[in-house]
Amino acid sequence: MIKTLTDALAQRGYETLTEVQEAVTVPALEAADLLVSAQTGSGKTVGFGLAIAPTIMEDEVFGPAAAPLALIIAPTRELALQVKLELSWLYAQAGARLASCVGGMDMREERRNLSRGAHIVVATPGRLRDHIMRGSIDLRAIRAVVLDEADEMLDLGFREDLEFILEAAPEARRTLMFSATVPKTIATLAKNYQRDAVRLSTRSERGQHADIEYRAMSVAPHDSENAIINVLRFYEAKNALVFCNTRAMVNRLTTRFSNRGFSVVALSGELSQNERSHALQAMRDGRARVCVATDVAARGIDLPDLELVVHADLPSNSQTLLHRSGRTGRAGRKGVSVLIVPPKARRKAERLLGGAKVKAAWGAAPGASDVCARDHERLMENPGWHEPVAEGEQATVEALVARFTPAQLAAGFLRIYAEGQSAPEELADAASPTAPRGRFGPGAWFSISVGRKDNAEARWLLPMLCRSGGLSKDDIGAIRIQNSETYVEILKTSVEGLLKTLGPGMQLESGIKLSRLDRMPDMASKPRPGPKGKKRKPEPKQAQPVDGVKAKKKSKFKEEIPSRKRPKKTDGKNKGKRRKPAAK
């Protein structure tokens, strides 16, 4: 191995290499194309950095930077930037110059960096293809191409971009593909763009997610959010990642957790790259401990202290479950993946776990008593009890001991300790039948910009409000559909979250808007119009005189027959009556 790299590893505290790092640095494979399946977090970034070194370095240090010698392609900008940071320290003593080309960053600045020369370029597929098509990157000197998280790139729809890039690179290059799994699509890509690739499977991939404890927690239908709060409190992880399926749910949970005193950040597609970077940095430096995210926003992120993953919404497939859970349990650390499972989602959760080939321990979510008991354990096991009194603490300790009894000191400490914790939630029994909905209120009234004339119905208005406004069914009271608008009552405690989720535009879906009312609307009963194109039957009041004669019962054949077809037989009530001739 090249000395400048071994020195960098030693300086970084590496005593031994991980399994995947040892596998890809075997001298016999120095010139081979590789197809490597390894679990995320197994040290593969350093692994492929070491693997390509003999190919791109002719000496222990690099020469002057010109056209790039290696391309590292990653699925997301977060992962690409993390890879760049990791390779920067690995190649620092070798004098490597690295450049990045990722979506969401200033393309002009990237072009300037490329024009100054770079030994290694780390990029996302779409942005790299743009640079190639614009002629701002020269691939003629490329000796090695690495596809990191290749399966995720194909899942995200980058197949055409990858094929374009691989065809643009020199044929004599080495191609290394790293993937958590090797489905048929990856095998096909390898067959088309690699030369006699050596297939490497590490033990961590064969025993996938062995360092992750899976827990499936059954919760009552309306207790999902309360259960998540208790899970966060029970584990008190350094970093926790809560996955949602929609941006609206991300916004809702972020607001809820913030109100409950959690230090929380959000990651969703609507955020700018700068906002996403700040959120991740807050998690890494301890200013935030909980991150609420969608699948796309969280792909490829690496949080070294991530100990807990919570699936607030179940993922759509088993592969996504593995990708989500794989954010924890990395590089030999232990992690926990918790599935929140309401009764209706039980079969789906079992199917996901079966498809992922992982076993989960089923049980109830931690209740308030469980969280309090866990707090007690953490308190009693805190190493601070056994540390000697510091010199700066002595005066305060003596003053406290002189003023209060031991019982008062203990009680006061417990109260102060509890003030810094979010109170756990009381959960309903998941096995018991759903409790009847209590009295709704107090509420605030809103107007929706569709009514009967737009075929508005409560059965689609209710789920639309839940999706777009980040609400649950319990947050919504009366829905009163009028001719040109609909009035809806929202629980007052949920109004702030609704307004924050919708933003100033107050738009739900398909141009439908919500407007807040300052008082309860006037919903005096008005005659409802009949279906379009038909006249409504007269109100069942006293028959009105027609030409001085009391109206008879409405005839079944009041309207003229619109064709010359023979009229259908009747039940005899109209027998003997002459019919009007059909209109010609």
Q: CATH number of the domain that 288 lies in?
A: 3.40.50.300
Residues 240, 280 within the same domain: yes
Q: Of the candidates 479, 498, 516, which is a domain's last residue?
A: 516
User: What pLDDT, in 10s, does the model give residues 3-47?
Assistant: 999 999 999 888 888 888 999 999 999 999 999 987 666 788 999
Residue 418 Cα to chain centre, angstroms: 31
* Residue 535, in any domain of the structure: no
Residues 103, 137 within the same domain: yes
Residues 186, 259 within the same domain: no
Of the ranges 3-12, 151-160, 270-279, which is most confident?
3-12
* Residue 425, in any domain of the structure: no
* Phi, psi angles (nearest 5°) of residue 290: -125, 130
Report how far residue 217's alpha carbon sits from residue 544's, in angstroms, rounded to the nearest whole number. 66
- The number of helices, as runs of H, and strands, as runs of E, in the chain is 21, 20
**Residues in a beta bridge with 265:** 291
3-state secondary structure 209-220: CCCEEEEEEECC
Q: What pLDDT shows up at residue 564?
A: 45
User: What pLDDT, in 10s, does the model give residues 482-534?
Assistant: 999 999 999 888 888 888 888 888 888 878 999 999 888 887 545 555 555 55
Specify the number of domains making up the chain. Answer: 3
* Residue 401, in any domain of the structure: no
Q: Domain with 459 in it: what CATH number?
A: 3.30.70.330
User: What pLDDT, in 10s, does the model give residues 437-494?
Assistant: 556 768 899 999 999 998 888 888 888 888 888 888 888 888 999 999 999 999 888 8
* Residue 529, in any domain of the structure: no
Q: Containing domain of residue 151, as a range?
A: 3-206
Q: With 80 as the cut, is the pLDDT of residue 546 above it?
A: no
Residues 15, 164 within the same domain: yes
Residues 251, 149 within the same domain: no
Residues 237, 290 within the same domain: yes
Report how far residue 332's alpha carbon sits from residue 397's, in angstroms, rounded to the nearest whole number. 41
Question: Among candidates 41, 448, 65, which has minimal Cα distance to 205?
Answer: 41
Are the CB atoms for 134 and 170 separated by under 8 Å?
no
Q: What is the mean pLDDT of the chain?
A: 83
pTM here? Answer: 0.57
* Phi, psi angles (nearest 5°) of residue 57: -115, 125
* Phi, psi angles (nearest 5°) of residue 64: -60, 140
Return the percentage of the chain with pLDDT > 90, whole number.
42
| Mean pLDDT, rounded, for 138-165 | 90
**pLDDT classification of 55: cutoffs 50, 70, 90:** very high
Q: What pLDDT shows up at residue 559?
A: 43
Count of CB atoms within 10 A of residue 26's CB? Answer: 12
Report how far residue 218's alpha carbon sits from residue 362's, in angstroms, rounded to the nearest whole number. 7
Q: What pLDDT shows up at residue 548?
A: 42
Q: What pLDDT shows up at residue 119?
A: 96
Residues 45, 140 within the same domain: yes
Q: What pLDDT shows up at residue 536?
A: 52
Are the CB atoms for 459 and 473 separated by under 8 Å?
no
* CA 122 to each of CA 2, 50, 84, 93: distance values in angstroms, whole numbers, following the listed order: 21, 15, 6, 19
Report how far residue 265's alpha carbon sits from residue 276's, in angstroms, rounded to the nearest whole number. 9
Report how far residue 390's alpha carbon sits from residue 402's, in angstroms, rounded to the nearest whole number. 18
| Mean pLDDT, rounded, for 67-78 | 91
Calculated CA dihedral for residues 48, 49, 54, 59, nearest 10 degrees: 180
304: left (phi over 0), alpha (psi -120 to 50) or beta: alpha
Of the ranges 158-162, 293-297, 299-303, 322-326, which is most confident?
158-162
Q: With 80 as the cut, is the pLDDT of residue 578 above it?
A: no
Structural element, H or E, at residue 542: none
Structural element, H or E, at residue 36: strand 34-37
> How many residues are given for the chain?
584
Residues 161, 303 within the same domain: no
Place of tokens 């991530």: 306
Are the CB atoms for 87 and 39 separated by under 8 Å?
no
* Residue 144, in any domain of the structure: yes
* Residue 413, in any domain of the structure: no
Residues 307, 335 within the same domain: yes
* Residue 556, in any domain of the structure: no
Of the ranges 31-45, 331-345, 533-547, which is most confident?
331-345
* Residue 463, in any domain of the structure: yes
Strand, helix or coil for residue 309: strand
Question: Among candidates 480, 458, 465, 452, which has minimal Cα distance to 512?
Answer: 465
Q: With 70 as the cut, is the pLDDT of residue 381 above it?
A: yes
Report how far residue 355's alpha carbon sits from residue 349's, in angstroms, rounded to the nearest whole number. 10
Are the CB atoms for 183 and 152 separated by under 8 Å?
no
| Mean pLDDT, rounded, for 235-240 | 92
Q: What pLDDT shows up at residue 555?
A: 44
Residues 467, 354 within the same domain: no
Strands (E), 184-247: 198-201, 212-218, 239-244
Q: Of the candidates 480, 496, 516, which is a domain's last residue?
A: 516
Residue 574 Cα to chain centre, angstroms: 67
| CA atoms within 13 Å, Cβ hemisphere of 153 | 28
- Per the model's pLDDT, the better-predicted residue between 61 and 500 turns out to be 61
Place of tokens 């390509």: 52
Residues 41, 148 within the same domain: yes
Return the percentage of the chain with pLDDT > 70, whole number.
85
Enter the tokens of residue 52: 């390509």
Q: What pLDDT shows up at residue 48?
A: 94
Q: Of the candidates 342, 370, 398, which is a domain's last residue?
A: 370
Residues 180, 237 within the same domain: no
| Mean pLDDT, rounded, for 311-328 | 88
Q: With 80 as the cut, is the pLDDT of residue 560 above it?
A: no
**pLDDT classification of 385: cutoffs 50, 70, 90:** confident
